[in-house]
Amino acid sequence: MIRVEEGKILIVDDDPYILKMLKFVLEKENFVSLYTAESGNEALKICREVSPDLIVLDVMLPDRDGMDVCKKIRQFSNAPILFLTAKNTDADKLTGFIYGGDDYITKPFNPLEVVARIRVHLRRQLMLSEANEPVQQTYDFGNFQLDEISGQLIVDGKEISCPAKEFQLLLFFCQHPNQVFSSRQLYRQVWDETFDFGGENTVKVHIRRLRSKIEPNPSQPQYLVTVRGLGYKLVKGPDPK
């Protein structure tokens, strides 16, 4: 997750003093990606070009109403929008929320309060983005690819049939590359049964079958290798000797 201070912030206001002041305060607070705009059209242009993580938006702009700008932004961005305005009635605030705003700051304001609110919204936005990041679904080991969602094993560009237990075993290895696992650990993870002598043989057979599918030369494995006395591991390329 990136630091809050690395988030991209767009400040939109037709008052050069406010732009300069907020930019100065944010820079003092170690924010590094700051953009400014003095009109609604300029704000929309910047939003489409840089995809800011948060927008501070004045309601009264020279070319178009800030509420309308917010509505336009909401067509392509979910970044938090903090309205700046001299209007402070409950009706004004409600209108801002209806148009898609996330917070409402009335003028005159304390710059440090604005920074504090920016931090809160950015932190929430960045945490949400991290939580929504998709778990890796396709594993690429060069000679072969394993697609967890579709259940496909692709070797040298061709789909190879792979029974369920072999697929689950290979998937476990793909999820834990370069880690050594004993037959007992593998049997517990994939078969979820009590390990015995038959379990060790079962793992060995499935390893051999997987090698016949993914290895250029199964008798000299480069990917699914044996670590003598310890078990097996899956490596990205030839295992260094």
- Going from the N-terminus, what domains does the chain have, and what CATH number goes with each? 4-131 (3.40.50.2300), 165-234 (1.10.10.10)
Distance CA 160, CA 144 (A): 10
Mean pLDDT lowest for which of 70-84, 116-130, 147-161? 116-130
Cis peptide before 108 (omega within 30 of 0): yes
Q: Which amino acid does the sequence have at 85?
A: T
143 CA to centre of own chain: 27
Q: What is the pLDDT of residue 133?
A: 54
Which among 30, 29, 38 has a CA at the least distance from the CA of 10? 38
The DSSP code for 181 is: B
Enter the pTM of the model.
Answer: 0.56
CA distance 152 to 28: 52
Nearest to 26 by CA among 16, 14, 18, 15: 18
| CA dist 84 → 57, 60, 74, 97 (Å) | 6, 9, 17, 13
φ, ψ at 36 (rounded to 5°): -130, 150
Contact between 27 and 34 (Cβ < 8 Å): yes
| pLDDT interval class at 193 (50, 70, 90) | low
Q: What confidence tens digit (pLDDT) does each residue in 130-183 have?
A: 655 555 688 999 889 999 888 899 999 999 988 888 999 999 999 899 999 999
188 by DSSP, 3-state: which? helix
pLDDT at 89 over 90: no
**Going by DSSP bridges, is the β-strand pair 8-12/103-106 parallel, antiparallel, or unpaired?**
unpaired
Model confidence band, residue 78 (pLDDT cutoffs 50, 70, 90): confident
Stretch 118-130: mean pLDDT? 80
